[in-house]
Amino acid sequence: MERRIWLGRAGTALGLWLAGVPLGAAAARAPRSLAVLDVELVDDQNTPTTRAASEARLPRATAQLRQELAAHGLYRVVDATPARALQQRLHDQQEFLYRCADCAEQVGRTLGVDLVMTAWVQKVSELILNFNIEVHEVATQRIALSKSVDLRGNQDASWTRAVSFLVRDMAEKRARNPAYGQ
């Protein structure tokens, strides 16, 4: 009986190896739940003519981030709408949720998720911007991932490319290391 179990496991491992599936990936668990908070804008220049355009990009960047994370299977993206009132209250108190020590964890506990992502775009100038994310683990209050990508130009296309690159890079790193961003 014991020999039959061993042969079955060896056959399964051999089949996965022949199919090109890394053995660690076969044992990987389902994606963890993640709430993505709205992307925030840090714009110390506060130029009225460009600020409105940047603020209009925020909901599009948030939606793209959520869609691409889900499409790549990096996380099980959960709708953060049920915690909208809490987010607004925290935002009113803190100005920026990404700067708040435990805001992500409060929202995560309310939604019952494993992880919460805060995201913000820091506008250095009209030419240089940074798209930043942090993934907070709710149970331990640790930052599981911190990542940034530079944008060149404050335009729709540069924002879209930045989000796509960020998520694609995360997916490539996760393929090499299943614990990446977890």
The CATH number that applies at residue 123 is 3.40.50.10610
Annotate 11-35 with b (16+ C-beta within 10 A) or e (fewer).
Answer: eeeeeeeeeeeeeeeeeeeebbbbb
CB within 8 Å of 176: residues ≥ 6 apart = none
Angle of the 156-176 helix axis to the 48-71 helix axis, nearest 10: 30
3-state DSSP assignment of residue 80: coil
The residues, ordered by sequence, that sit 6+ positions from 38 with a Cβ below 8 Å of its Cβ are 58, 59, 62, 80, 87, 119
pLDDT at 16: 45
Please check whether residue 182 lies inside any domain of the structure: no
Measured distance CA(50)–CA(66) in Å, rounded: 25
Determine the pLDDT at residue 121.
96
How many structural domains compose the chain?
2
pTM: 0.82
123 and 102 in a common domain: yes
| 83/152 same-domain check | yes
Point out the residues of the chain with pLDDT beneath 50: 1, 3-8, 10, 12-17, 19, 21, 23, 26-27
- What are 10's two structure tokens? 């060896």
Please indicate, yes or no, if residue 16 is contained in any of the structural domains: yes
Q: Would you say residue 134 lies in a domain?
A: yes
How much is the pLDDT for 7? 46
The pLDDT score that the predictor gives to residue 51 is 87
Predicted local distance difference test score (pLDDT) of residue 22: 52
Residue 151 confidence (pLDDT): 92
Instruction: Tell me if 181 is assigned to some domain.
Output: no
Q: Which domain holds residue 24?
A: 1-29
Which 3 state secondary structure label does DSSP give 34?
strand
Tens of pLDDT, residue by residue over 150-171, are 999 999 999 999 999 999 999 9
Domain shared by 52 and 86, yes or no: yes
pLDDT score of 15: 46
